[in-house]
Amino acid sequence: MRRTRNAKIVATLGPASSDKETVRQLFLAGVDVFRLNFSHGSHDDHRERFNVLRALEEETGRPIAILADLQGPKLRVGVFANGPVQLVEGAAFRLDLGTAPGTAERVSLPHPEIFAALVPGADLLLDDGKMRLVVERCGPDFAETRVAVGGRLSERKGVNVPGVVLPITALTAKDRRDLDLALEMGADWIALSFVQRPEDVAEARALIGDRAAIVSKLEKPSAIEQLDAIVELSDAIMVARGDLGVEMPAERVPAIQKRIVRSCRRFGKPVIVATQMLESMIDSPVPTRAEASDVATAIYDGADAVMLSAESASGKHPVEAVKMMDRILQEVESDPLYRQLIDASHASARAGGDVAEAVCCAMRRVVSLLHASTIVCYTGSGQTSLRAARERPESPILSLTPNVATARRLALAWGVHSVHTQDVSNAEEMTEVARQLARREGFARPGEFVVTIAGMPFGTPGTTNLLRIATA
């Protein structure tokens, strides 16, 4: 089974989409990567969903990627004595480390790291930015604020501190427990929430090693300030527009999204655009025209993947949401303007770059001149296929690997159709297997050109140095 599009679909599993038949229908509708959101659900829930996905993989014979999304350091206020309170504009409101239930004048904020980073004049945003407090006086265990934008505040609502790098790790104690489970099960991708700096990625890498690939979720202004460094250290990036739109003005988010996508394309790292993509389909069987345009814009920009969150996890129409996203993606990619925009935004190979970069650059040109039906990449680590995807060639990429973990991870990459296959021992065998599988998988008909790239000696990571042209 092959997809007839280049961009990929990530879908979140949840209460509305956890039974075997619904998961199967989601896959058939177009899902390439399934997300397990560790902000919700028990370990037993996630283990059960994981097992369903691996059984589906066995049934369909197609590699399926599983992304474990860690909650991260979500900061929240405490509880209130008598239910929600009304914050009145201009009124004083205190936040502190006290354990007593809150009132209309104060509430617990059990996060000393916030107080350590605050200065007078700093803003505190509550409940996804619905309310705003301005710090007037603060210390290591309190902050006295003035309500700038009021509203109804209930217990355990989130707190954002825009423009401040908090002295906290991206991995909480809960995240570490969840990470242990995800790695034990065999998750292909681990998503880190609220990444602030490159050191957060390095810390996770030290724990994860090569057992899974890392997706850094960019939702803090401080991460945008060090964008290229974080992209370079990560295996993939998620544009997490929800908290990003809380921490900075909403009008800045579209430009930042484009900036992130450009950086990822330059480094050859897969990038996922996420949050509120088809949100109205949580309740409605059809999206708004603005949502359809939003999804299309991400694809025109060259994003590797778009993601469904509540739409597939808890919405009323999970399968319909995936089908709609699939149709939008196919419609965009059939538009001649799409190819023009992809080519215009392509990052040219650097003079003095390495051999692998030169080979993939040549591959892109050869495919265009010969109108080759497909590109076959032999890869152990996945790097050859990712380098090919970076070029955004006109023809689909058939990625052949003896490593099943690599085959699964590549399900996220633009234009890559991954197949787990036996290793080859020489260039002649490689060419013959490439021809056979290109025909078998529906990528080439007899007589059509097949362009093959690989590294020699076989099995040596990072040695992409061979380009061959054959006919199917």
User: Can you tell me the distance from the alpha carbon of 382 to that of 400, in angstroms, rounded to the nearest whole number?
Assistant: 9
Catalytic residue among 8, 35, 132, 409: 35
Provide DSSP, 51-95: HHHHHHHHHHT---EEEEE------B---BTTS-EEEPTT-EEEE
Whole-number Cα distances in Å, 416 to 237, 268, 285, 388, 393: 17, 13, 30, 9, 11
User: Can you tell me the distance from the alpha carbon of 16 to that of 431, in angstroms, rounded to the nearest whole number?
Assistant: 45
DSSP H or E stretch at residue 22: helix 20-29
Catalytic residue among 5, 49, 217, 390: 217
Among this protein's residues, is 54 annotated catalytic? no
Among this protein's residues, is 275 annotated catalytic? yes
User: Can you tell me the distance from the alpha carbon of 207 to that of 186, in angstroms, rounded to the nearest whole number?
Assistant: 14
Among this protein's residues, is 220 annotated catalytic? no
User: Can you tell me the distance from the alpha carbon of 23 to that of 17, in angstroms, rounded to the nearest whole number?
Assistant: 6
Strands of 76-212, DSSP E: 85-87, 92-96, 106-108, 123-126, 131-139, 142-149, 151-153, 159-160, 189-192
Catalytic residue among 24, 47, 74, 76: 76
Q: By C-alpha distance, which of 321, 287, 275, 298 is closest to 31? A: 321
Biggest CA pair distance of the chain: 78
258 close to 273: Cβ distance less than 8 angstroms: no
50 close to 408: Cβ distance less than 8 angstroms: no
241 close to 271: Cβ distance less than 8 angstroms: no
Catalytic residue among 145, 169, 275, 464: 275
Among this protein's residues, is 49 annotated catalytic? no
Provide DSSP, 287-335: --HHHHHHHHHHHHTT-SEEEESHHHHT-S-HHHHHHHHHHHHHHHHTS
Q: Which residues are catalytic?
A: 35, 76, 217, 275
